[in-house]
Amino acid sequence: MYFIYNLISIIIATWLFGVQDALSTEIPKNWPWRGVTLDISNSVPEDIIILKKRLDINSVRITLNVRQMAQRQNLSSNVVWSKGIEYADKMLDACRREGVAGIISIHQFPINPNLLLNQESPGFWNNPEYLTEVISLVGNIVKHFEKRGTELGAYEVLSEPLLRDGNKIIVPPAWPKLLQDIIKEVRKYDFKRWIIVTPGPGGLAKGYKEFKPLDDKKIIYGAHMYTPHNYTHQGIKDRKRGLVYPGFVLNKYWDKKTLEKSLSDF
């Protein structure tokens, strides 16, 4: 079932491709990307072969959900981190054989589940030690994969950054500096790969209202399209099923024009 779920999660994602240098004609391999999200807990390299045949994908987002897997399997985060690197290598080998572009993505921080924190917690964003761990793990990832070929298209770190402040969801104040540090760490070892960035809060496109372009020529700017939320997340965590598109969601009619307006009204 994760095939269908993850296909939808990518179809509703809008990738905004930004090139800083107007004279640059370089684009990512297989662009525009059309793919699915797979993670360490529910996929194997053979899935890429199946998905390419069934869905004609040309990219795959390889997510390393280390904290989640460590918690579910009662393993240390360091053990799962090593397993994640091994898993990603096997997935990228399959990407190379099938001509698919792979995206290495990690967004679960801190990776240790015993800390009882996640990437939305004030306790994470307000602790310099945990933010330093992010940079260290980014360096670990890039040093390991930078010698890969074109099967590795991009890195993605802390997709959809947000901080839950009471009932509010905001862009974490520490995010702009951390993002700069992430990019700097990637570029210590790898100038070939693209870096996917979403400005927050979450995947909402409205984050671009205050966002300034980054000083890097290989950035892909992303805005994940989940509107209307009740439709795209139906069936998840006991949410009501049966909503259709085009159609009414919470007494509002949603179609292509409504979606276009929701993305432009910020």
For the chain, 266 residues long, give each residue's pLDDT as a single digit of tens: 344 334 434 433 434 444 344 334 588 999 999 999 999 988 999 999 999 999 999 999 999 999 999 999 999 999 999 999 999 999 999 999 999 999 999 999 999 999 999 999 999 999 999 999 999 999 999 999 999 999 999 999 999 899 998 888 899 999 999 999 999 999 999 999 999 998 888 877 778 888 888 999 999 988 777 888 889 889 988 888 999 999 999 899 999 999 888 877 65
> Tell me, what's the pLDDT at 110?
97
CA distance 140 to 130: 15
Number of other residues whose CB lies within 10 A of the CB of residue 1? 6
> Tell me, what's the pLDDT at 266?
58
Long-range contacts of 148-152 (CB under 8 A, 24+ apart): 148/92, 149/96, 150/29, 150/101, 151/92, 151/93, 151/95, 151/96, 151/100, 151/101, 151/102, 152/92, 152/95, 152/101, 152/102, 152/104, 152/193
Burial label, 161 (beta-carbon count in 10 A; 0-12, 13-18, 19+): buried
> Tell me, what's the pLDDT at 2?
44
> Tell me, what's the pLDDT at 25?
53
Which residues are CB-neighbours of 22 under 8 A, at least 6 positions away?
A: none
> Tell me, what's the pLDDT at 5?
37
CA distance 76 to 161: 25
> Tell me, what's the pLDDT at 265?
60
> Tell me, what's the pLDDT at 238?
83
Structure tokens at 8: 């939808």
CA distance 193 to 218: 7
H or E stretch at 61: strand 59-63
DSSP state for residue 218 in the 8-state scheme: S
Phi, psi of 220 (to 5 degrees): -110, 120
Helix (H, G, I), strand (E, B) or coil at 129: helix
Phi, psi of 196 (to 5 degrees): -90, 130
Q: Tens digit of pLDDT for each residue in 113-131?
A: 999 999 999 999 999 999 9
Residues 207, 29, 88, 43: is their CA dihedral positive or negative? positive
Place of tokens 């989940």: 226
Domains along the sequence of the chain with CATH: 2-226 (3.20.20.80), 227-266 (no CATH)
> Tell me, what's the pLDDT at 201?
87
